[in-house]
Structure 1
Amino acid sequence: MTSPGSPSETRSLIIERLVGDSGEAAHVIGAGRGMAERAVPLLQKSLAGELGAPVTVDLRAVEVSRVPDARAYAGDTFAMTIVASPTSSDAMTLVIDAPAIAVMVCALFGGDPDLAVSPIERELSQIETDVATTVFQEVAQALNGSGRRSLELRLPVQRAMSGAEAKRRVLRDGAAVRMVFGISTPTDSGTVTVMIPQRILLATRGGAAGANDDQTTGSDWRARLSEEVMRSTVTLKATMPLARLTLGDLASLEVGQIIEFEETAQSQARLSARDKTLFVCEFGKLGQNYTVRVRHPYDAGQDFIDGLMPG
């Protein structure tokens, strides 16, 4: 085994091993570009369909970088989240700048795409942070992949952080591939920056992959594990909305006081498993047993919009 020729080379090698392996730049950029280019049409479709946002998504840059540089070009106002995987607590870091958030908020609420969007030069509101979280979810889903090449991200993503919390968050240093996606309308544009540590990228894209890897792996997984997966059990929970109360009403509640259900509560029960809502159901009773009848699949996008504009 050979050793580095100088103390600086030894130090660099030790630091690199501690904070993450790096690969040959051309190979890393090529693997990252291939991943990003496959994600662009998926992201374009998801934003246009699920969010109803008439925006254009394009790939601006793919380059080698360091994970802490994720916030370097986002300006003073931005939102950020970190996505974990089974092998890493920081498998992906996502940052969206204020112009991109403004574009998405405007498009989501029906703003005129031919008019300039008002810039955001303040702390993000709860609605703007929720919109950023939704964009992060779509970006992570598009980049996650499947089969042997999957990043195995733990989705859904955590709620985006912003302001002082996002600026103070310590990011573990390490070699990374930096992908920059543009989100734009005819008059405005912003960016979403994605940082994936090279140790994560090289683990799934390190070798030469054939054109049919995803297809072959998918068939292999279905053949070996599908039956076992279908036998696994989950705990179902049915919840029903109670009522909307002001903080003052809540503070004045007393023991024995009765709270009425809203008129539509019986038809708005939610069926969930592992903290993920699956169906909207109708609450009822059959003989001596309480029941829920499935009405339709839960639509997270519609529920998000309904929550922003109640009534």
Structure 2
Amino acid sequence: MSGLATMEDSRALIIERLVGDSGEASHVIGAGRSLAERVVSPLQKRLSGEIGAQVTIDLRAVEVSRTTEAREQAGDNFAMTVVSSPVSSDALTLVMDARAVAVMICALFGGDPDQAVTPIQRDLSPLEADVATLVFEEIAQILNGSGKRSLDLRLPVPRAMSGHEARRRVLRDGAAVRIIFGLSTPTESGTITVMIPQRVLLVQRNGPGAAGEEEGSETDWHERFSEEVKRSAVTLEATMPLARMTLGDLALLQAGQVLEIEENAQGRARLSARNKTLFVCEFGKLGQNYTVRINQPYDAGQDFIDGLMPG
């Protein structure tokens, strides 16, 4: 297993580890809004015509966010599913709050649209989760698109999770665009949140109005990083391996005891930021100041192999 081929690859990997792929905010929001606006009308027709639910769909917000914030506006009871694609295990995260689920249940099972909808203040039932899955499937199919600009989602969507499972599901952090749709009757409304990682939205669809355009080069993609992200300050930490010892030896250590540093430890220092290892370095000294010289980008795969066969 070899290291990164070029410094450009190394730089891209470091940015991804620290903040996730992130585009210029105005460009991201524009791409997200262009996508969302094309969804509203077809989704309205499918829910009202094919499914028979007399509800209204409207676009409420498109904003830059993080994928971990998908559930923050959904309250305690909600339905959620995560859809994968060949380029991302979380290409689409859909969250439907309890009010939206109640609206759909009422619309599908003959509730009077002019009467108040009873709110759901408990974990969703299996039937309610199935209804949420039905809505998620319709949204995902329309968002997926077709041709070169398709998100290439793996459909059908996984069955919606709810309750403890949905609240405890770990979402991978990363820059995303959040699209919020309203689902309503004359007396009640709820929200459906769609989270799309920016790397999926911008790379797969190349932004708004990209039909017929050639795929952007990797250089073009890097130019989209906002100046704010590039200027973000991080704390660098350099650590040097000390020695290997058994747990028994570790338990016998006492205050004041001097430990010997391995002979080649100085050349195996690691430079990290935000608990992410970035480079393999070498400690040194320049005048009265200690220094760290970068030797090569950190290769996690090679480090794993080396750990299996310690010297």
| TM tier, smaller | 0.5 to 0.7
Note the C-alpha offset of 1:50.
2.1
Equivalents in 1 of 2:46, 2:61: separation in Å? Answer: 21
Equivalents in 2 of 1:30, 1:207: separation in Å? Answer: 7
Note the C-alpha offset of 1:148.
1.2
Amino acid at match of 2:23: G
Aligned match of 1:107: 107
Aligned match of 2:140: 140
Tell me: CA distance 1:40–1:145, structure 2 relative to 1, closer, same or farther (3 Å).
same
Aligned match of 2:39: 39
Amino acid at match of 1:201: L
**Pairs within 5 Å for 1:179-258:** 179-206=179-206, 209-210=209-210
Secondary structure at the aligned position of 1:95 is classed as strand
TM-score, L = length of structure 2: 0.63
Identity of aligned residues (%): 72
Q: Contact between 2:83 and 2:158, CA under 8 Å: does it hold in 1?
A: yes
Amino acid at match of 1:200: V
Note the C-alpha offset of 1:207.
5.7
Q: Can you give the 5+ residue segments of structure 1 that lack an aligned partner in the other structure?
A: 4-10, 214-311
Equivalents in 2 of 1:109, 1:208: separation in Å? Answer: 38
Note the C-alpha offset of 1:134.
0.3
Secondary structure at the aligned position of 2:21 is classed as coil
Larger relative contact order (Cα-Cα within 8 Å, sequence gap ≥ 6): 2
Secondary structure at the aligned position of 2:32 is classed as helix
1:47-67: per-residue Cα shift (whole Å, max 9, x none)? 112210000000000000000
Note the C-alpha offset of 1:206.
2.6
Matched, 1:157 2:153: no
1:262-302: per-residue Cα shift (whole Å, max 9, x none)? xxxxxxxxxxxxxxxxxxxxxxxxxxxxxxxxxxxxxxxxx
Secondary structure at the aligned position of 2:158 is classed as coil
Equivalents in 2 of 1:84, 1:205: separation in Å? Answer: 16
Secondary structure at the aligned position of 1:44 is classed as helix
Amino acid at match of 1:163: G
TM-score, L = length of structure 1: 0.63
Equivalents in 1 of 2:45, 2:154: separation in Å? Answer: 22
Note the C-alpha offset of 1:16.
3.7
Equivalents in 1 of 2:107, 2:207: separation in Å? Answer: 41
**Alignment length (residue pairs):** 206
Note the C-alpha offset of 1:19.
6.0
Tell me: CA distance 1:100–1:207, structure 2 relative to 1, closer, same or farther (3 Å).
closer
Q: Contact between 2:34 and 2:208, CA under 8 Å: does it hold in 1?
A: no
**Pairs within 5 Å for 1:24-103:** 24-103=24-103
Amino acid at match of 2:84: A
Note the C-alpha offset of 1:141.
1.0
Q: Contact between 2:80 and 2:94, CA under 8 Å: does it hold in 1?
A: yes
Secondary structure at the aligned position of 2:54 is classed as coil
Amino acid at match of 2:166: A
Q: Contact between 2:80 and 2:93, CA under 8 Å: does it hold in 1?
A: yes
Equivalents in 1 of 2:206, 2:21: separation in Å? Answer: 12
1:41-88: per-residue Cα shift (whole Å, max 9, x none)? 011011112210000000000000000100000000000000011111
Secondary structure at the aligned position of 1:156 is classed as coil
Amino acid at match of 2:106: C
Q: Can you give the 5+ residue segments of structure 2 that lack an aligned partner in the other structure?
A: 1-5, 214-311
Secondary structure at the aligned position of 2:70 is classed as helix
Secondary structure at the aligned position of 1:71 is classed as coil
Note the C-alpha offset of 1:145.
1.1
Aligned match of 1:245: none
Equivalents in 1 of 2:7, 2:203: separation in Å? Answer: 25
Amino acid at match of 2:171: L
Which is greater in Rg?
Answer: 2
Note the C-alpha offset of 1:208.
6.8
Equivalents in 1 of 2:48, 2:202: separation in Å? Answer: 31
Q: Contact between 1:48 and 1:55, CA under 8 Å: does it hold in 2?
A: yes
Tell me: CA distance 1:206–1:125, structure 2 relative to 1, closer, same or farther (3 Å).
same
* Aligned residues: CA RMSD: 2.3
